[in-house]
A and B are shown apart, each in its own frame.
Chain A
């Protein structure tokens, strides 16, 4: 693998809430190669978004972030605010889940793309407008000339998400972090957005971190997958290997929960849910976080935290009893 673009090591995030400390992320490590699509999968509240928000320090002040996130030879977690602002939106951009509200309602689409261009690239008004038009074409918005002068409320959800992607791509970032980019959209529109993501990677070589709770989305787009559970990495593998040989019982559970209407002889197969709920992140017992929901749990599972092991080439799992 080429030198990683982004190297996250031992990233931990704690939130100091009124009810005490919450360990949202516990010693996460992962790396991202140039042009790679990394999927981060897990249930709501497993720390996927917090992990990615902490990279450019977008979390509220109640969060304490430790560890390191080295990008271009600098640790983002200790970078001065001024330098950090030059990274945000220029080298690392985000696309959030809520396309309906992430655009400022009082400005035209063109104005909002221009703003980022002029902030980071110091373009003239005309040049920024031409570039904005080019970006709208890149994200395949119909009638881009007209859209430039329209307000967000005049666009559909899918088009707004395309505009958000255009803004994120405005300065040709090295990393695009897409946090559930398709969750709020219709299924048919989701496919279009995922298609666009793939296209962006192929044409621009942008590395993408795709956060989702949907393994189907990951199978479609990602090269490599990190499965998170309760703030820790449960499994990490190239996408094909993960689907062919899932090792962690949690991953297996997630795969069992994907609806597959046209597969096999029994089309009425019941979806398998994972029993129980995500544990509270308040106390971190000295045990596997998945123990209470795991069919393979035993004494060892309940008395020690499993460490990551490479069980197949490039396939890491944190489980005492791995195997498909």
Chain B
């Protein structure tokens, strides 16, 4: 092999640094996506630093000031047990983010390799995986998650597991479908002709070509899991006191809708905002990651 030094003295620039710069420039040109990112980051910061940000713990009760109006000591008021509403929204963000992100990561970690193996090798293994996925997909996501949570028992961890497992079939289907299409691309035989192993082809050639699709699916799954967690908690299958979540808050707010609609509005707004932010951020991400995008 010849010399390492470039005889023409061309500067050797790290191509990844250039790509990062380009992506940042493209992203900043999309104000809605930037707003989505800001809100998502806001929720993430709130979730991570909840113990320092929240004025009170989620279990804190002030029985002298139940159903207090917003203002003064309790900026968003209190609920029927004297929980500080602001603190509860903040702690709820922690539960929601945790469930949304972890459930999605769990689903991807399990489903993507399975789906890719099915799509790449085809044959009987594909038939088995695809049919099993179809069966699971015939259950609505929430029903599946409720069923799993009921079996596993109520807790935040089990809600995460249930929502993650419930999201697996959709990811398998997408990973399999993308792999089926991508394995027919001309660069696959070209890579085989250059001595690539199956593993190299699956993970280094096919997987990177489906990242944008997976990202879109993830940005649908995270808010789906956030809503799912709210549903499970609303049904009493999610987090248990003294922990709280937006679903728990919505559930207790039901009984006081006429006297204190704000008890439903605050967690509801937080939920909608988080879900919306993830969606617009994901859309922007998909646009900029597409190598065919020029602006």
Contacts and interface: CB of A to CB of B under 8 A. Distances in A.
Q: Do A and B bind each other?
A: yes
Interface of A: 56, 58, 85-90, 93-94, 96, 98, 101-108, 110-111, 115-116, 119-121, 123, 126-127, 129-131, 133-134, 145, 148-149, 151, 153, 164, 167-168
B59 interface: no
Contacts of A107: 208
A130 B4 contact: yes
Given A85-B196, A110-B15, A119-B194, 13 more contacts: A87-B195, A88-B194, A90-B195, A93-B193, A94-B194, A106-B291, A121-B1, A127-B1, A130-B2, A130-B5, A130-B12, A145-B11, A164-B190
A110 B197 CA distance: 20
Interface in B179-217: 185-187, 189-197, 200, 204-205, 208-209, 211
Contact of A130 (B3, B189, B291): B3
A153 B292 contact: yes
A149 B200 CA distance: 22
A126 B194 contact: no
Contacts of A89: 193-196
23 contacts: A58-B189, A85-B195, A87-B195, A88-B195, A94-B194, A96-B193, A98-B186, A104-B185, A104-B205, A107-B208, A108-B15, A110-B15, A116-B194, A116-B195, A127-B4, A129-B12, A130-B2, A130-B4, A130-B6, A131-B1, A134-B6, A149-B13, A168-B194
Nearest to B3: A130
Nearest to B197: A85
B290 to A, nearest CB: 9
A168 B18 CA distance: 27
Interface of B: 1-6, 8, 10-13, 15, 18-19, 185-187, 189-197, 200, 204-205, 208-209, 211, 291-292
Nearest to B207: A106
A41 B209 CA distance: 36
A279 to B, nearest CB: 28
Shortest 10 CB-CB contacts between residues of A and residues of B: A89-B194, A88-B195, A89-B195, A101-B186, A145-B10, A94-B193, A149-B15, A104-B187, A102-B186, A102-B190
A93 B10 contact: no
Contacts, number: 95
Nearest to B182: A104
A173 B3 CA distance: 19
B201 to A, nearest CB: 10
A106 B209 contact: yes
B204 A115 contact: yes
A107 B204 CA distance: 10
A121 B194 CA distance: 12
Contact of A151 (B186, B193, B291): B291
A106 B19 CA distance: 11
Nearest to B5: A130
A104 B1 contact: no
Nearest to A92: B193
Nearest to A57: B192
Contacts of A168: 194
B195 A101 contact: no
- Tell me which of A56, A89, A103, A126 has the highest count of chain B C-beta atoms within 10 A of its own C-beta: A89
A104 B206 CA distance: 9
A123 B1 CA distance: 9
Given A119-B200, A127-B1, A58 B208 contact: no
A290 B158 CA distance: 72
B192 A58 contact: yes
Contacts of A167: 194
Contacts of B197: 85
A151 B205 CA distance: 14
B18 A149 contact: yes
Contacts of A102: 186-187, 190
Contacts of B8: 145
A56 B193 contact: yes
Given A102-B187, A127-B4, A88 B15 contact: no
Contacts of B291: 105-106, 151, 153
Contact of A88 (B13, B192, B205): B192
Contacts of B204: 115
Nearest to B18: A149
Contacts of A130: 2-6, 12
Nearest to B206: A104
